[in-house]
């Protein structure tokens, strides 16, 4: 069974709000082994909505429509559905009374505009509203079906789980289809998307004609490059087995050709990776930040329980703070020597086992003859003090963000050694 998602709303096309509904629905469909090959966005225009619905029905078995079920003039999904079904709209008095009761319970009177929400295409089944005033709809179109739900995520998710998913699963079983999809995301830092594609090139090509397993790449900006592995199996155990095999192959190829660039899986962040390693060693960390201005510390305290291993940070933005507080020798403050001295100094100031520092040139102009994007990371662990020199791309905000995750990655690699 193929399901298409159509998100209705001009605000989506204008970029005024993100389409989190389609993302969430895609994840839910995949988790239940239901294919979703197309997603559409369409504005609040009757003719274009009708065209979007007909296009979706021409290539998919079921369509989930989000949005356009409200009480205002631009909520025209109901009318568009009626046209696609070639039927009229009928007002359901039981829906009117339910909406009126909701308003009375809030101590308010129901505006006449809300009557529009009780208009239902003839032949459609109503998904009763629980969290809002708009009911959902299940609309048969020949042998296919269109589900319409409100665009409010809180309302949409409840209707999907209560009414749409059970109906889809039942239709899938009736068609003799049954499969489970599982996925795993490998998170990397330190290699380009093209380098990853090249490392996995032969495996990618080998899977072109295999509909059981797929590999995809997602460039995620300051969070690195993600490699998404997806496996479709006849049941959960089969899908998990296929996925485990593919993950092992992918990790081996990436490690062999690009080194230790995988820092986590799925939702694990770089700071998660640091937390795990510090907890394993029973070690504490202190950071000294110049170019990043507190970004590293902010990331670390996102982790619950960070106070057990994160002692704190010093934002040594001014050169005098580096000299007087951290013991950096007077002279250039963007250098390997300065970064190492900062790491040693912050470890002493905060009483941590490990010191991590970062200093660099964020721009827009060069500093002391060093080009924009020049960054030095210092690390002090026991008697070992070392630095990593980087050249990072982008504008000032990107260079600062890249510096933060690069510094954490440098620490991760050292701890792994």
* Preceding omega of 246 cis (within 30 degrees of 0): no
DSSP state of 71: S
Number of separate domains in the chain: 3
Domain boundary among 220, 240, 265: 265
For the chain, give the mean pLDDT.
94
The Cα–Cα gap between 26 and 64 comes to: 11
Instruction: Examine the domain organization and report whether 169 and 39 are in the same domain.
Output: yes
Q: By residue range, what is the domain housing residue 349? A: 272-416
Q: pLDDT tens digit string along 283-295?
A: 999 999 999 999 9
Rounded average pLDDT over 200-221: 88
pTM of the model: 0.75
Rounded average pLDDT over 117-142: 95
**Chain centroid to CA 180:** 22
To the nearest 5 percent, what fractions of the chain are helix, strand and coil?
Answer: 45, 25, 30
Instruction: Examine the domain organization and report whether 197 and 148 are in the same domain.
Output: no
Instruction: Examine the domain organization and report whether 185 and 170 are in the same domain.
Output: no
Instruction: Examine the domain organization and report whether 46 and 159 are in the same domain.
Output: yes
Q: pLDDT tens digit string along 19-69?
A: 999 999 998 887 777 889 999 999 999 999 999 999 999 999 999 999 999
Looking up residue 242, the CATH number of its domain turns out to be 3.30.70.2860
Looking up residue 9, the CATH number of its domain turns out to be 3.40.980.10
Please, are residues 357 and 339 in contact by the beta-carbon 8 Å criterion? yes
Instruction: Examine the domain organization and report whether 211 and 328 are in the same domain.
Output: no
Instruction: Examine the domain organization and report whether 56 and 160 are in the same domain.
Output: yes
Q: How much is the pLDDT for 73?
A: 87
pLDDT range class, residue 413, cuts 50, 70, 90: very high
What 158-166 contacts at long range (C-beta under 8 Å, 24+ apart), as own/partner pairs, is 158/130, 158/131, 159/127, 159/130, 160/25, 160/28, 160/64, 162/127, 162/130, 163/127, 163/136, 163/138, 164/64, 164/127, 164/136, 164/138, 165/28, 165/32
| Alpha-carbon distances, residue 203 vs 224, 243, 375 (angstroms) | 21, 14, 35
Instruction: Examine the domain organization and report whether 411 and 280 are in the same domain.
Output: yes
Q: pLDDT tens digit string along 79-127?
A: 999 999 999 999 999 999 999 999 999 899 999 999 999 999 999 999 9
Instruction: Examine the domain organization and report whether 144 and 196 are in the same domain.
Output: no
The Cα–Cα gap between 403 and 410 comes to: 10
Instruction: Examine the domain organization and report whether 233 and 158 are in the same domain.
Output: no
Mutual orientation of helices 270-281 and 396-416 as an angle, nearest 10°? 30
The Cα–Cα gap between 168 and 160 comes to: 10
């Amino acid at each position: 069974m193929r399901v298409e998602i159509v998100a209705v709303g001009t605000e989506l096309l204008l970029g005024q709000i993100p389409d989190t509904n389609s993302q969430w629905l895609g994840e839910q469909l995949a988790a239940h082994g239901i294919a979703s090959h197309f997603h559409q966005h369409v504005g609040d225009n009757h003719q274009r909505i009708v065209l979007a619905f007909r296009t979706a029905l021409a290539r998919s078995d079921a369509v989930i429509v989000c949005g356009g079920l409200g009480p205002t003039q631009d909520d025209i999904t109901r009318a568009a559905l009626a046209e696609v079904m070639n039927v009229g709209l009928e007002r359901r008095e039981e829906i009117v009374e339910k909406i009126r009761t909701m308003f009375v319970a809030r101590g308010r009177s129901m505006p006449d505009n809300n009557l529009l929400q009780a208009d239902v295409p003839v032949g459609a089944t109503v998904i009763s509203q629980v969290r809002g005033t708009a009911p959902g709809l299940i609309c048969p179109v020949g042998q296919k079906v269109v589900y319409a739900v409100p665009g409010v995520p809180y309302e949409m998710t409840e209707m999907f789980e209560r009414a749409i998913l059970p109906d889809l699963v039942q239709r899938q079983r009736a068609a003799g289809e049954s499969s489970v999809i599982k996925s795993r995301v490998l998170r990397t830092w330190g290699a380009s998307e093209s380098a990853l594609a090249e490392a996995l090139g032969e495996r990618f090509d080998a899977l072109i004609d295999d509909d059981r397993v797929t590999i995809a790449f997602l460039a995620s900006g300051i969070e690195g490059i993600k490699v998404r592995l997806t496996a479709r199996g006849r049941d959960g155990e089969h899908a998990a087995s296929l996925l485990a095999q593919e993950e092992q192959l992918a990790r081996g190829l990436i490690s062999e050709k690009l080194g230790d660039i995988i820092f986590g899986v799925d939702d694990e962040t770089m700071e998660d990776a640091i937390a795990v390693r510090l907890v394993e060693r029973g070690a504490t960390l202190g950071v000294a930040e110049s170019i990043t201005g507190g970004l590293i510390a902010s990331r670390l305290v996102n982790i619950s329980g960070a106070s057990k291993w994160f002692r704190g940070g010093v934002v040594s933005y001014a050169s005098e703070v580096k000299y007087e507080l951290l013991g950096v020798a007077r002279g250039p403050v963007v250098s390997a020597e300065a970064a190492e001295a900062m790491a040693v100094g912050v470890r002493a100031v905060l009483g941590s086992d490990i010191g991590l520092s970062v200093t660099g040139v964020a721009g827009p102009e060069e500093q002391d003859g060093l080009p924009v994007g020049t960054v030095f990371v210092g690390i002090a662990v026991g008697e070992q003090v070392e630095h990593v020199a980087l050249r990072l791309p982008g504008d000032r905000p990107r260079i600062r963000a890249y510096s933060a995750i690069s510094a954490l990655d440098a620490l991760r690699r050292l701890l792994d050694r």
